[in-house]
């Protein structure tokens, strides 16, 4: 019995030694501190920036699944406003229109031997219901500025990024700044429905044998209450999920709602949607999410206990996965997501639809 207890104690000590050793390997070290190069920060007018974003939101640059509803005149008006609002930027760049409404702006650098940097943003937004009981606290296309916030469709996705780029670049251009490396600003018009504008820009650059040194996109969400850092963290995206939308169609006999069949098209479609949602994809850590967590494990903001957990995912992986599943953003990092988004059926309340359709959007993890 004493030997068993001794062996157990030795094993426990060995385990603790391994855990602590791996944790210390990920700890912040003075020798690994990044070299900080002094950067002169530009100053922008915060009130003017907010006003510009508010004005940008008022342009209903909407992308819909039905491409016939696309209104190029709104995008033209928006781009005219951009040119008037940011005159120094547009005086410094060469502007091309790609695929009708996508804009490619090239700020030519002084050293043509250097590959350019590309900044991406998109002008379009998804539709928003402006009716009284739509759930919006403020009108979605009014650009209300209140209590330190700018309200409206596109304030984050993605006119916030678009205006930030324009504000910074306009200040630099007004100062006489000349980049050494060329800078390209690509502003897509249909990112929300497939991004054919961005694809056309990529094809154009390829045809001109232009190979970007870096491409900076709009970025992802700011996570909170994650296993590594509870505070808000702007994650660096190192991979992107795939995109797939499937359409489920159910058909049944039509007729009057007073004499419905046992199985209606809508009822059958509802059961199909429920069945899809009842079979989620596996949610687990993979090499990408593990690497992401390991990177933040060396940050000063991480306490020893959290660093120990994140540094030893071989043992605590299940605990970390359970915590990530507590939030929608955390769960989404663990695998493919399933989201029914659109349902079409019926045209009158007392008439049975012959057909019902549902759109189900999947964001595909690389392993799936």
**Catalytic position from the list 124, 167, 192, 321:** 124
Instruction: Establish whether 191 is a catalytic residue.
Output: yes
C-alpha to C-alpha distance for 24 and 27, rounded to whole angstroms: 5
Please report the sign of the dihedral spanned by the C-alpha atoms of residue 288, residue 291, residue 295, residue 298: positive
Q: What does the CA dihedral 69, 73, 79, 85 come to, rounded to 10 degrees?
A: -120
Cα 231 to the center of its chain, rounded Å:
19
**Catalytic position from the list 158, 167, 190, 191:** 191
Instruction: Establish whether 124 is a catalytic residue.
Output: yes
Cα 219 to the center of its chain, rounded Å:
6
C-alpha to C-alpha distance for 190 and 298, rounded to whole angstroms: 39
Q: Catalytic residues, which ones?
A: 124, 191
């Amino acid at each position: 019995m004493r030997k068993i207890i001794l062996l157990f104690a030795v094993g426990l000590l060995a385990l603790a030694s391994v855990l602590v050793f791996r944790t210390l390997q990920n700890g912040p070290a003075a020798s690994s501190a990044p070299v900080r190069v002094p950067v002169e920060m530009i100053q922008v007018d915060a009130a003017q920036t907010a006003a510009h974003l508010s004005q940008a939101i008022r342009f209903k640059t909407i992308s819909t699944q039905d491409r016939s509803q696309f209104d190029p005149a709104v995008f033209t008006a928006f781009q005219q406003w951009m040119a008037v609002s940011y005159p120094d930027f547009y005086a410094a760049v060469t502007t091309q229109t790609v695929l009708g409404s996508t804009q490619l702006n090239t700020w030519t650098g002084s050293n043509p031997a250097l590959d350019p940097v590309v900044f991406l943003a998109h002008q379009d937004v998804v539709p928003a219901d402006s009716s009284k009981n739509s759930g919006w606290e403020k009108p979605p296309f009014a650009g209300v500025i209140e209590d330190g916030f700018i309200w409206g469709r596109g304030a984050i996705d993605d006119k916030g990024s678009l205006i930030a780029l324009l504000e910074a670049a306009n200040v630099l251009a007004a100062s006489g700044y000349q980049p050494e490396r060329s800078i390209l600003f690509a502003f897509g018009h249909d990112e929300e429905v497939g991004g054919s504008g961005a694809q056309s820009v990529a094809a154009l650059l390829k045809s001109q044998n232009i190979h970007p040194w870096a491409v900076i996109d709009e970025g992802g969400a700011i996570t909170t209450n994650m296993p590594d850092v509870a505070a808000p963290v702007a994650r660096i995206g190192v991979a992107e999920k795939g995109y797939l939308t499937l359409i489920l169609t159910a058909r049944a006999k039509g007729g009057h709602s007073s004499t419905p069949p046992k199985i209606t098209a809508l009822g059958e479609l509802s059961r199909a949607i429920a069945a899809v949602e009842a079979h989620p994809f596996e949610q687990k850590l993979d090499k990408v999410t593990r690497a992401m967590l390991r990177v933040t494990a060396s940050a000063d903001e991480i306490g020893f206990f959290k660093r120990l957990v994140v540094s030893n995912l071989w043992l605590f992986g299940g605990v970390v996965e359970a915590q990530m599943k507590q939030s929608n953003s955390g769960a989404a990092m663990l695998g493919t997501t399933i989201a029914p988004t659109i349902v079409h059926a019926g045209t009158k309340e007392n008439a049975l639809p012959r057909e019902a359709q549902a759109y189900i959007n999947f964001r595909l993890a690389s392993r799936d």
